[in-house]
Amino acid sequence: MSSSSLRDSIASDALSVSIRGLARSFGERRVLNDVSLEIAQGEIVALIGPSGCGKSTLLRHIGGLDTPTAGSITIGDAPVTGLDARSAIAFQEPRLLPWRSLTRNVEVGLPRTRRAASDRERVSHLLELVKLSESAHLRPREISGGMAQRVSLARALARQPGVLLLDEPFGALDALTRLAMQDLLLELHAAEPATIVIVTHDVDEALYLADRVVLLGSSPADSADAVSSVRATVTVPGHRPRDRGSADLAVLRAELLEGLGVATHHLPVTSSS
Amino acid sequence: MSLSSPLSVLERPVVTDVAASPAPVETSTPRRRRWVRPVLLGAVLPLALIALWQLIATSGLVASYRLPTPLGVWAAGVDLYERGVLYQHVAISTQRVLLGFVIGSVVGLALASVVGLSARVSEFFAPTLGALRAVPSLAWVPLLGLYLGYNEDSKVALIAIGAFFPVYTTVASALRHVDAHLVELGRSYGYSGPALLGLVQLPAVVPAVISSLRLALAQAWLFLVAGELLGASLGLGFLLVDSQQNGRIDRLFLTIILLGVLGKLTDTAVGVLERFLLKRWGS
Ligand SMILES: Nc1ncnc2c1ncn2[C@@H]1O[C@H](COP(=O)(O)OP(=O)(O)OP(=O)(O)O)[C@@H](O)[C@H]1O
Ligand SMILES: [Mg+2]
């Protein structure tokens, strides 16, 4: 497959994202406070943090699905004020329409303004990329959780977004498919850079994919109030594709796991964040 | 650059194995047997009942002016048919039911869509419709008669009222309970208003719509008889009153059986529609 046909599959201009002083409370419960983050055009940023710390909430704000209590988000040079066509989100749950075939589910992602024969081709191309061509005619109840996640990813890619928001897109995949999908994402990104924000629980995945890893969470100091903000931002050294076993990454990995509160039994390292 | 490379590490596409295995081929013979048996089985009880009926009616246990024989009922049917009125009664009643059913369910669907989709519209309409629904159906008969006359309009209107409520209530509530995640998905991919309705909400409530249509159809026949009992010169309801007044017990039985058969036939038609729609839209 030539990279020009790939360009057709996710062709759009990457857009920068700027989050300034974002706070979000649900009633009394403060989830996010003073989150600020600048994401460059075409950058891949991984969000990690303990369960319930507000990763999905932050992602939903970037996608315009939720309104901040304070602060602002800008994509490109226009603020996000509501649902935003410049971004596409793959939710933490696959959210497939049960009465549609996989093909027709991916079609939901097509930009609504223009639908042509070429779009149909793109849909089948995307299904091929996520290795689901054989199953394209099936209904969601007939497929596994991991397959559903890949459909959801293909649907988000169909949107050709400037900002791609992925909420644990590979969480339900077996180890081998997960690695393959990570490589697929990187290839797509190399062919036509979109800005990607990816939420993950997997530190290795974050280090393999991202330019920067953002650790979200509450500081241990005010543990009574578990409100999250950006605890650390780690710039991952080197260029993609990275060596999954590199020593540099091992150090960062230990640091990030430490940040997540996982004892790594490594020698203490000096912070580079 | 080859894009299929990322997965080429997999020697075989484990995840697609399920899909690749061919579906079992269905031969036509077991398929035909599959529906022949229930039909035969289902026919046993009615036939037995008719036999029992014949036995009782000819045994002299019950006076013949209270219980006609099955053959007598058949003869009454043939008699009415030969006079050319049987068809008229059946046709006019079926026409009223279908008209009222279609009008009632279309209005019901439309109103349910508006009420089920917008909390504000729901707050506006729901209490009123709830109160109207609480009015016993037959209470409308005199009013409709006064307003529209004891003619086709008032009967069709009554049947439409009967068909409206099951559709409205069921569908409005189903729309309110559509998976919020899917609705949000639709919105986030740029769908709103009627497009969103077509993408998520309507398909999601197809099963509810169908079961409400079946209910509505049953209601339509009920309201037909009510309407025709209270003022008609033609139709199965009229035939009931007329037969009672003239002591034609055979025609009375005939009409009841006809109502049962017609009701079942129309219900079966909706059942066929149901199977078709669920195949298309069911999950
Ligand atoms: N709509 C909502 N109403 C009330 N509370 C909410 C809502 N959405 C999220 N929360 C709360 O916000 C917090 C963060 O939720 P979020 O889904 O963002 O976590 P997360 O970091 O994505 O967790 P996980 O890794 O388990 O997916 C949780 O405590 C959750 O209860
Ligand atoms: Mg989450």
Specify the range with the lowest mean pLDDT, choosing from A192-201, A242-251, B98-107, B219-228.
Answer: A242-251
Mean pLDDT computed over B105-113: 92
Residue B10: the pLDDT is 40
Decide if A158 contacts A126 (C-beta within 8 A). yes
Residue A154: the pLDDT is 94
C-alpha distances in Å from residue B275, one per residue of A254, B26, B223:
58, 19, 27
- Same domain as A186, residue A73: yes
| Contact partners, residue A139, CB within 8 Å, separation at least 6 | A98, A99, A100, A101, A102, B283
- Same domain as A255, residue A175: yes
Whether A28 is in a domain gets the answer yes
Q: What value of ipTM does the predicted structure carry?
A: 0.86
Whether A194 is in a domain gets the answer yes
Q: For the beta carbon of residue B139, count every other beta carbon within 10 angstroms.
A: 9
| Contact partners, residue B95, CB within 8 Å, separation at least 6 | none
Residues in A closer than 8 angstroms to B279, CB to CB, are none
Q: How far is the CA of A220 from the centre of ligand 1 (A)?
A: 19
Reported as half-sphere exposure (CB side, CA atoms, 13 A), residue A124 has a value of 6
Share of chain B above pLDDT 70, in %: 88
Please name the helix (run of DSSP H) or strand (run of DSSP E) that holds residue A21, with its range, or none.
Answer: strand A17-26
Residue A96: the pLDDT is 96
B104 touches chain A (CB under 8 A): no
Whether A21 is in a domain gets the answer yes
Q: How confident is the model at residue A93 (pLDDT cuts 50, 70, 90)?
A: very high
pLDDT at A199 over 60: yes
Mean pLDDT computed over B104-113: 92
Mean pLDDT computed over B251-278: 91
Between B272 and B21, residue with greater pLDDT = B272
Whether A264 is in a domain gets the answer no
The CATH number linked to B94 is: 1.10.3720.10
What's the CA gap between A253 and A246, in Å, rounded?
10
Mean pLDDT computed over A206-231: 84
- C-alpha torsion A184→A142→A174→A160, nearest 10: 20
Rg (CA), chain A: 19
Residue B87 lies in domain: 72-281
For residue A24, which atom of ligand 1 is closest to its CA? Answer: 12
pLDDT in tens, B182-235: 999 999 999 988 889 889 998 999 989 999 999 999 999 999 998 888 777 889
> Across chain A, what does the average pLDDT equal?
86
pLDDT at A98 over 60: yes
Q: For the beta carbon of residue B260, count every other beta carbon within 10 angstroms.
A: 12
Q: How far is the CA of A52 from the centre of ligand 2 (A)?
A: 7
Q: For the beta carbon of residue B233, count every other beta carbon within 10 angstroms.
A: 10
Among A122, A140, A160, give the residue marking a domain's end: A160
State whether the Cα torsion A101-A106-A111-A115 is positive or negative. negative
Mean pLDDT computed over B254-260: 94
- Same domain as A59, residue A139: no
B9 touches chain A (CB under 8 A): yes
Between A268 and B149, residue with greater pLDDT = B149
Decide if A171 contacts A206 (C-beta within 8 A). no
Whether A142 is in a domain gets the answer yes
Q: How far is the CA of A200 from the centre of ligand 2 (A)?
A: 9
Whether B206 is in a domain gets the answer yes
Q: How far is B199 from chain A (nearest CA, A)?
A: 9
- Same domain as A143, residue A82: no
Share of chain A above pLDDT 70, in %: 88
Whether A270 is in a domain gets the answer no
What's the CA gap between A81 and B280, in Å, rounded?
37
State the residue for tokens 């519209």. B121
Q: Single out the residue of A47, A80, A17, A58 nearest to residue A227, CA to CA.
A: A58
Q: How many domains does chain A have?
A: 2
Residue A32: the pLDDT is 94
Q: How confident is the model at residue B32 (pLDDT cuts 50, 70, 90)?
A: low
Q: How far is the CA of A46 from the centre of ligand 1 (A)?
A: 18
Whether A4 is in a domain gets the answer no
CB-CB under 8 Å, B187 with A177: no
- Same domain as A201, residue A248: yes
- Same domain as A155, residue A104: yes
Reported as half-sphere exposure (CB side, CA atoms, 13 A), residue B135 has a value of 14
Decide if A97 contacts A148 (C-beta within 8 A). no
What's the CA gap between B27 and B172, in Å, rounded?
42
Decide if B236 contacts B93 (C-beta within 8 A). yes
What's the CA gap between A244 and A73, in Å, rounded?
33
pLDDT at A85 over 80: yes
For residue A59, which atom of ligand 1 is closest to its CA? Answer: 18
Decide if B148 contacts B142 (C-beta within 8 A). no
Whether A268 is in a domain gets the answer no
The CATH number linked to A192 is: 3.40.50.300
- Same domain as A165, residue A235: yes
Size of interface A-B (CB pairs under 8 A): 100
Please name the helix (run of DSSP H) or strand (run of DSSP E) that holds residue A23, with its range, or none.
Answer: strand A17-26
B 182-211: CB under 8 A from A = 182, 184-191, 195, 199-200, 203-204, 206
**Claim: this prediction has a pTM higher than 0.80:** no
Q: How many domains does chain B have?
A: 1
B240 touches chain A (CB under 8 A): no
pLDDT in tens, A17-68: 999 999 999 998 899 999 999 999 999 999 999 999 999 999 999 999 999 9
Q: Single out the residue of A35, A61, A45, A156 nearest to residue A105, CA to CA.
A: A156
Whether B150 is in a domain gets the answer yes
- Closest chain B residue to the Cα of A140, Cα to Cα: B283
- Same domain as A180, residue A64: yes
pLDDT at B63 over 70: yes
CB-CB under 8 Å, B1 with A131: no
Residue B149: the pLDDT is 77
Q: Single out the residue of B263, B276, B166 nearest to residue B211, CA to CA.
A: B166
- Same domain as A244, residue A109: no
Decide if B109 contacts B164 (C-beta within 8 A). no
Mean pLDDT computed over A149-174: 92
Specify the range with the lowest mean pLDDT, choosing from A63-72, A144-153, A258-267.
Answer: A258-267
- Same domain as A25, residue A82: yes
Helix axes B236-245, B202-229, angle to 10 degrees: 30
Q: Single out the residue of A1, A4, A45 nearest to residue A192, CA to CA.
A: A4
C-alpha distances in Å from residue A16, one per residue of A78, A86, A229, B75, B91:
10, 11, 20, 86, 70
- Same domain as A118, residue A192: no
- Same domain as A188, residue A118: no
Q: How confident is the model at residue B34 (pLDDT cuts 50, 70, 90)?
A: confident
Q: How confident is the model at residue B15 (pLDDT cuts 50, 70, 90)?
A: very low
Among A139, A160, A181, give the residue marking a domain's end: A160
Mean pLDDT computed over B158-174: 92
Kindly state if the Cβ of A216 falls inside 6 Å of ligand 1.
Answer: no
Residue A248 lies in domain: 17-86+161-259
CB-CB under 8 Å, B185 with A146: no
CB-CB under 8 Å, B200 with A97: yes
Q: How far is A231 from chain B (nearest CA, A)?
A: 29
How are strands ordered across the β-sheet holding A29-39? A29-39, A17-26, A70-75, A78-79
Q: Any idea what the Cα angle at residue B72 is, between residues B71 and B75, rounded to 5°?
A: 85
Question: In DSSP terms, which residues pair with A196 in a beta bridge?
Answer: A44, A164
Q: For the beta carbon of residue B86, count every other beta carbon within 10 angstroms.
A: 21
Task: Report residue B149 as tokens.
Answer: 């006359």
C-alpha distances in Å from residue A160, one per residue of A8, A157, A191:
9, 6, 13
Q: For the beta carbon of residue B198, count every other beta carbon within 10 angstroms.
A: 12
